Amino acid sequence: MLNVNNNAANLKKNILVQIAKLQLENKLESEIDSLPAQIIPEGSTPIHESIEADREIVKIRIATRMGNSVEDYDGKKTLAEYAKDALNREKPTWPMLTVIHNACNACKPSHYFPTDACQGCLARPCKVNCPKKAIEIVNHRAVIDESKCIKCGICAQNCPYHAIIKTTIPCEEACPVGAISKGEDGREKIDYDKCIFCGKCMSNCPFSAMMDKPQLVDVIKHIMNGKKVVAMYAPAIGAQFKAKPGQLEGAILAAGFSRVWEVAIGADITADKEAAEFAERMERGDKIMTTSCCPAYVRAVNIHVPELKGCISETKSPMIYNAELAKKADPDCITVFVGPCLAKRREGFDNDIVDYVLSVEELNALFLAKGIDISKMEAKSAKYVPTVSGRNFAKSGGVAESVRLRLKDKTILRPCVINGLDKNGMKTLANYGKINAGEIPSPADCPNLIEVMACEGGCIAGPAVIANPKLGNGLLTIYANAGSKPSDDGFPLKCDMDSVIEGERERQ
């Protein structure tokens, strides 16, 4: 994953902020066509072949960032027309992840090659150990015959100067399920039948060719039309801003939302129900139960590891429980989940109770567009404060720990945490699938509760975060312990919806 501080991320942020500003000023249609020239001014050093090419790509990015589908992009269509389409849109459109082909670098296939660090040494371990005799020494430098090379990497492993390196296609390398491949034109394409919407391709592409389709224009439109728009922010969002407890809620209300729900409340409900479900499953003799709150993982099992389908917890995700809370409190409200996750956007797309899903990038862009400084916001107190364990759903291991804390008999639990779904993580899942199907013997110490997070480190390292995951982990610890209920006090909580709603009514 690229560091969150990079030019591509800054460009995406700038575009979102400018779109939000124009929309809030009712100038989106009238002034949006001037934006590419503002972003790429005369005299800029081109990234592609020319400033005109860069501006055309920025134009496509702007259309995409307004939530439009650009699979059939029409260069003759103005941004004003794309803005009109966005403002007239009734609901988000498929797909929520797209490839901007003009921006794709058409990277060369992965291969090994010697660099200037090669010393043409006497030992020549690269040549001696190559199983296909693909390396020769020419003018005191190693040269690889790519027609013979099988990309085993033995030469790179044996070079004492680390002179042989491997180049990769970052998006293909990052995809855990092989959903990214080259089209006939050499540029990348997405197989949506395989894609789990983990967003790893998006966060690893240095050219930002893989882009999500934001829903910020839609949400701002409803806010400006005076609708009851309710924000439901994930625990990971509390770890994205350096703010005191309650200031994030104050900022979200100042941005125009009518009510704020902390999704850690839904996490407490999920943990209560998942712990009860786990105990029931073990009592009836199930081998394995897996957690259910990561939609990228759930989709990965349903498509790629069907042997584990029956093991996925039937408990709903925190987002869904919170949306149910919001709709029960106010049936006419528009529910907006805010998180760092692309897969949550897919989950919301498939569930009518969640109207929109914003990324933390979009929420931050709204704050910047409205000039909201979170650090100066008045803190809003909460009537119902979630537990530490509920807020810790945002980090790897947090869900399994929440379930453990709620079990009456903790001795029955043998947890395992798969911290990030990469290619190796998918192999681990496949092995558990074979164990569950009886294809391979079950070890005596085989885990019976498996927590899977698609992002290494958990949701705090999601593809749309704005804080470095290491910083996010520290901020999450502060946020999770800020006035929360102790995680080992009085479980199960019986966090029923009626009591939470009543508490929220008293407060808001």
- The CA distances from residue 493 to 41, 97, 506, in Å, are 57, 38, 20
- The CA distances from residue 362 to 12, 77, 216, 221, 232, in Å, are 10, 25, 6, 14, 14
One-letter identity of residue 209: A
Question: In 10 A of CB 280, how many CB atoms?
Answer: 11
Helix (H) or strand (E) holding 102: none
**Cα 186 from Cα 94, distance rounded (Å):** 24
Q: How many CA atoms lie within 13 A of 136 on its CB side?
A: 5
pLDDT over threshold 50, residue 490: no
Asked if 251 and 377 touch (Cβ cutoff 8 Å), the reply is yes
Asked if 2 and 8 touch (Cβ cutoff 8 Å), the reply is yes
**Cα 379 from Cα 391, distance rounded (Å):** 18
Asked if 197 and 178 touch (Cβ cutoff 8 Å), the reply is no
pLDDT over threshold 50, residue 154: yes
**Cα 263 from Cα 321, distance rounded (Å):** 8
60-92 residue pLDDT tens: 999 999 999 888 789 999 999 999 999 999 999
Question: What is the average pLDDT across 421-443?
Answer: 92
The lowest-confidence range among 116-125, 240-249, 415-424 is: 240-249
Contacts of 422 (CB under 8 A, 6+ apart): 174, 176, 200, 456
Asked if 180 and 190 touch (Cβ cutoff 8 Å), the reply is yes
| Residue 105, φ and ψ in degrees, nearest 5 | -80, -5
Question: What is the average pLDDT across 157-165?
Answer: 96
Q: Which has more confidence, 382 or 335?
A: 335
Paired with 233 in beta bridges are 262, 338
pLDDT over threshold 80, residue 239: yes
Average pLDDT, rounded, for the chain: 91
| 419-434 CB burial, b ≥16 within 10 A, e <16 | bbbbeebbebbeebbb
Asked if 25 and 222 touch (Cβ cutoff 8 Å), the reply is no
Q: Which has more confidence, 171 or 246?
A: 171
Asked if 151 and 169 touch (Cβ cutoff 8 Å), the reply is no
3-state secondary structure of 463: coil
87-107 residue pLDDT tens: 999 999 999 999 999 999 999
pLDDT for 498 equals 59
pLDDT for 506 equals 44
pLDDT for 495 equals 53
pLDDT for 484 equals 58
Paired with 166 in beta bridges are 112
Q: What distance, in Å, lies between the first and last C-alpha atoms of the chain?
A: 40
pLDDT over threshold 60, residue 346: yes
- The CA distances from residue 102 to 38, 143, 158, 420, in Å, are 20, 33, 39, 30
**Cα 494 from Cα 500, distance rounded (Å):** 11
- The dihedral region occupied by 443, where left means phi > 0, alpha psi between -120 and 50, and beta the remainder, is beta
**Segments in 50-96 forming alpha helices (H):** 51-65, 79-88
- The CA distances from residue 131 to 112, 134, 307, in Å, are 14, 8, 37
pLDDT over threshold 50, residue 398: yes
**Cα 56 from Cα 51, distance rounded (Å):** 9
14-40 residue pLDDT tens: 999 999 999 999 999 999 999 999 999
pLDDT above 90 as % of the chain: 81
pLDDT for 497 equals 53
Question: What is the average pLDDT across 444-450?
Answer: 92
The lowest-confidence range among 81-95, 234-248, 364-378 is: 234-248
One-letter identity of residue 82: Y
Question: What is the average pLDDT across 160-185?
Answer: 94
pLDDT for 70 equals 85
Q: Do the bridges between strand 289-290 and strand 164-167 make them parallel or antiparallel, or are there none, so unpaired? A: unpaired
182-238 residue pLDDT tens: 999 999 999 999 999 999 999 999 999 999 999 999 999 999 999 999 999 999 998
Question: Which domains are delineated in the chain?
Answer: 1-89 (no CATH), 111-167 (3.30.70.20), 227-485+496-507 (no CATH)
Is 0.85 topped by the overall pTM? yes
pLDDT over threshold 60, residue 492: no
Query: 508 pLDDT band (50/70/90 cuts)?
Result: very low
